Structure 1
Amino acid sequence: MLSVQQLHVKGRRTDLLPPTSLQAKRGELLLVAGDRQDQRTALALTLSGRMKPTGGRIAWDGTRPIKELRLASALVDSPGVNEPEQHLSVRDLVTEDLALIPRRYRGALLSKPWLKVNSFEDIADLWTEQLPPGRRMELLTALALANPHTDLLVVDSPDRHSADPADWLPRLEQLADDGGRPLAVVATVTALPPLWRGPAAVIGNSIHHPQGTPALAKVIELRLETEDAK
């Protein structure tokens, strides 16, 4: 389980990440809403152990060393950090990403057989910028999970590619609900999908749990604004 208490990161003038508390359990998808891209990315980087927080506490499976968190987590499609370069073909992207897996876990992973086994041969020759949002999400999460030691998946702003949650939400739910490999999955989003009733949080506050624990007013406002806009 990922446990975060009052995690924050200072910026030049204001907090890059205001104090945020949340929990993400294995077998669950947690959505964290925030209207600023820089704050969503700062949270994603911190939750995956790629950025050192200024204050607060973060623990993965009861351990607090950032190194352990980084080894157990994968950061997916973070803008300006590790989002695929537009000039890359899918085949080249796969080659590059598989090369980043530690050698002791990599074995003989090569792009051509990997694309075939994971059913991505149909998009192998496309540029990454040509990928439909749904296939992009499937590809990038599959690459993140090519490392067998990835137990925490942190996806940065998948809704920036499509306003339709159907293009990214089902894939993340499927991964979290995989009994063969129980993952903790966290996705930062601009706003919660209208029909979402699963675990959720807002950057700056811990707010909601599906079993009905108290929700803060901000999540109610987010949902009302989303419903009013329909």
Structure 2
Amino acid sequence: MRNLAAGNWKMNGLVADLAQVQALAKAHPAPDCDVLLCPPATLISRMADAVAGSAVMLGGQDCHANASGAHTGDISAQMLKDAGASHVILGHSERRADHGESDAIVLAKTQAALFAGLVAIVCVGETEAQRDAGQTLDVIGAQLAGSLLAQLDCAPNDLVIAYEPVWAIGTGRTPTLEEVGAVHRFMRATLLDRFGAAAREMRLLYGGSVKPANATEIFAVPEVNGALVGGASLKADDFGPIVAALSRG
């Protein structure tokens, strides 16, 4: 499988920042990994034009479970695809916490994304309190059980799982490599038990304060097939070395 370097711009980015994306695409014309940027919805269409013909793919940061309707302020999976997106992030901890998204809601959005032909990146992760209580694997297991389809009704590459420990997002803190490895091994085993051999082809990403300084060692951990990167994806000079490290992996 090809590794995946995914950047989540969150609520950041204006038209002027498209220059960063063009610089990234120019610096990595044929990377040995997939490269994905997920900007705010306001930039997807313009970014699609900016990276046309390059290796950079685009994704949304969320989608509604319904294809259309009276849902002011929301955006559907079909709309994302129409704007030029090929992927969408779902169940990010900031959506779960700030918007009260349950596993059932994430599951409905995942089904909508796959139906629309998008690759679904489903996020899971524990809080610091849950980690300190020794509940990490229980939390991850429950989120996987509730947020994913009962059967794998899509190509394995169309469903990506991103482990993002909530306490590591934007804090500069990361789990030890042993802890990252333990969670990724657990996720792989859980997915294999649920979906069978096809789960071997599903990509497992790590996210949470990934930066150029720690990317190489994180990507060397078995069962880590890429990264979901936050702040470091906003600048080509920061995200580029992460793409390069993953390409070497």
TM-score exceeds 0.5: no
Bigger RCO of structures 1 and 2 (CA < 8 A, at least 6 apart): 1
TM-score relative to the length of structure 1: 0.42
Structure with the larger helix share: 2
